[in-house]
């Protein structure tokens, strides 16, 4: 699946739900399905700065693709990082760096999050792009 196809898939998934309580429940479910992050990566240098809750993220390059794994201590936050991992993990650095992640606006995510969660979402995106850039340089 291309990045655009993954974004379209998320938009379609969210269109099934009629109100934001159902959409929040879906985000929470995504967080519950997030593959556990190895404990060795739950270290201070892997904490995403700018998130109200604690979110750890690890990125590594495998066969030219960036693979992200993450965990968080809040259920909504885990769901948000799960959405981003679904879209960005498995892509090459250039694709990640160019991604505008229009699905976030399309599904109305930013305006339905509290200001601190919206800032945290932006911090997650920023960190994922910084990691992609750093891994591109290696």
List the catalytic residues: 51
Burial of 131 (0-12, 13-18, 19+ CB in 10 A): buried
Q: Are 77 and 117 in contact (CB under 8 A)?
A: yes
**61 phi and psi, to 5 degrees?**
-100, 130
């Amino acid at each position: 699946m291309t990045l655009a196809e993954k974004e379209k898939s998320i938009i379609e998934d969210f269109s099934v739900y009629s109100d934001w309580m159902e959409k929040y429940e879906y985000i929470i479910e995504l967080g519950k399905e997030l593959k556990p992050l190895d404990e060795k990566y739950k270290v201070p240098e892997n904490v995403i700065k700018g998130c109200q809750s604690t979110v750890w993220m690890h990125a590594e390059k495998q066969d030219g693709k960036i693979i992200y794994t993450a965990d968080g201590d809040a259920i909504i936050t885990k769901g948000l990082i799960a959405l981003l991992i679904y879209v960005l993990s498995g892509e090459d650095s250039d694709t990640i760096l160019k991604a505008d992640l229009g699905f976030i606006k399309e599904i109305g995510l930013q305006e339905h999050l509290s200001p601190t969660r919206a800032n945290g979402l932006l911090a997650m995106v920023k960190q994922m792009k910084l990691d992609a850039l750093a891994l591109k340089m290696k």
